[in-house]
Amino acid sequence: MELISPNNPLVKEWAQLLEKKHRTRQGKYIVEGVHLVQEALRSGADVECVAYDMEKGVPHELGSYTQLPDRQPEWAAVSAAVIAKCTETKTPQSVFAVVRKESRPADELLHQQNGLVIVLDGVQDPGNVGTIIRSADAAGATGVVLGHGCADLYNPKTIRSTMGSMFHLPVVEAELTQALAGAKSAGARVVSTSLQASDSCYTYNFRQSVWLVIGNEGQGVSDAVAAMVDDSILIPMAGQAESLNAAMAATVLLFEAMRQRLFN
């Protein structure tokens, strides 16, 4: 398939995916650049189409994916104008993919023994959400749960910040009080940070099943979720900084959990 005009109806449909309401309506999203497209294909994501710059050809890193035996996506040679219309970065890369959303229930995270799940409660910055997903992947977490009010998982900025980690572990969207009630019933401890806590994250037992809640950047954990927290912990700080941002705090906690589980 070749697409040259940015006014082609299919191209217009793809370009709409830069807006959340159209991503929701179509049930699809766009990933930009060789690395993210490669991660989507490698992980078996439901890739509908890969569009590449017709002047440059299929990037060599993606060549082996043009003959996938299962769920073979459409490959489309497109003009630079089409790429510019369908991507958000100022200097677009030479390839993007249209991926179908796959809904996953939070229940799949409930029954993993000694699970480590990170729960985002109203984290609104796409960069923070993406970075936390990336850190959760790096630290070997079981999965990530996004509550209402979080930045959209499929926002281009969120996707870029995950650096492909969104394809490596379950990332589910859920109503948090229901998801946390299920986790507690399955034996998990619900944990969050508090400046008033007396227990340090370095003495807390992360080897048990833990659902770790990170709250909104300005307001912290919502009242409804705070009422379900079993344990509050503190990240000790030796310097004069008042606090860490959401992504940094989550990363510190995730890597302390990894240290206890794998290196203690």
Residue-wise pLDDT tens digits, 189-217: 999 988 788 899 999 999 999 999 999 88
DSSP 220: B
Return the residue matching tokens 């959303």. 101
pLDDT tens, residue by residue, 224-243: 999 999 999 999 999 988 88
The set of residues, in sequence order, having a beta carbon less than 8 Å from that of 141 and lying 6+ positions away, is 116, 117, 118, 169, 254, 257
Question: 89-100 pLDDT, tens per residue?
Answer: 777 789 999 999
Classify burial at 118, counting beta carbons within 10 Å of its beta carbon; exposed 0-12, middle 13-18, buried 19 or more. Answer: buried
* More confident of the two residues 104 and 253: 253
pTM of the complete model: 0.92
Quick one: pLDDT at residue 109? 86
Domains and their CATH numbers in the chain: 2-100 (3.30.1330.30), 106-263 (3.40.1280.10)
Cβ atoms < 10 Å from Cβ of 60:
8
Question: Quick one: which H or E segment has residue 83?
Answer: helix 80-86
* pLDDT digit string, tens, across residues 17-68: 999 999 999 999 999 999 999 999 999 899 999 999 999 999 999 888 887 6
